[in-house]
C-alpha cells in the first residue's frame, strides 16, 4: 500500500537519508523522501503504521500523520 508520511524535525539531506534507510529496513520500496513542509516520505510499504512511527522516532523525528494514497 502506498503511504504519505508527514514528518517533523527533518532539516537536511542527512535526515532524508536516515528516514529512507528506516523505510527500506521495514521493507519499503519506491521510496521518496523530501524536506518540503518540514519533511515527508511517500512509500510503497506494507508495514504497520505503528512500526513506521516507532522506527522513525528512533531516528529522533516525529511522524505527524500517515495517509494511505
Q: What is the pLDDT of residues 8-44, one digit of tens each?
A: 999 999 999 999 999 999 999 999 999 998 899 999 9
Per-residue pLDDT reduced to its tens digit, 35-69: 998 899 999 999 999 999 999 999 999 999 999 99
**What is the C-alpha separation between 38 and 44, in angstroms, rounded?**
21
Say how many Å lie between the first and final Cα of the chain, rounded. Answer: 8
CA atoms within 13 A on the CB side of 34: 5
Query: What's the whole-model pTM score?
Result: 0.94
Give the pLDDT confidence score for residue 38 in this predicted structure: 87
Amino acid at each position: 500500500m502506498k503511504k504519505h508520511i508527514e514528518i517533523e524535525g527533518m532539516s537536511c539531506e542527512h535526515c532524508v537519508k536516515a528516514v529512507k534507510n528506516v523505510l527500506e529496513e521495514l521493507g519499503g520500496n519506491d521510496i521518496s523522501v523530501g524536506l518540503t513542509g518540514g519533511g515527508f516520505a511517500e512509500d510503497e510499504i506494507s508495514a504497520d503504521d505503528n512500526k513506521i512511527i516507532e522506527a522513525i522516532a528512533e531516528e529522533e523525528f516525529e511522524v505527524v500523520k500517515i495517509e494511505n494514497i
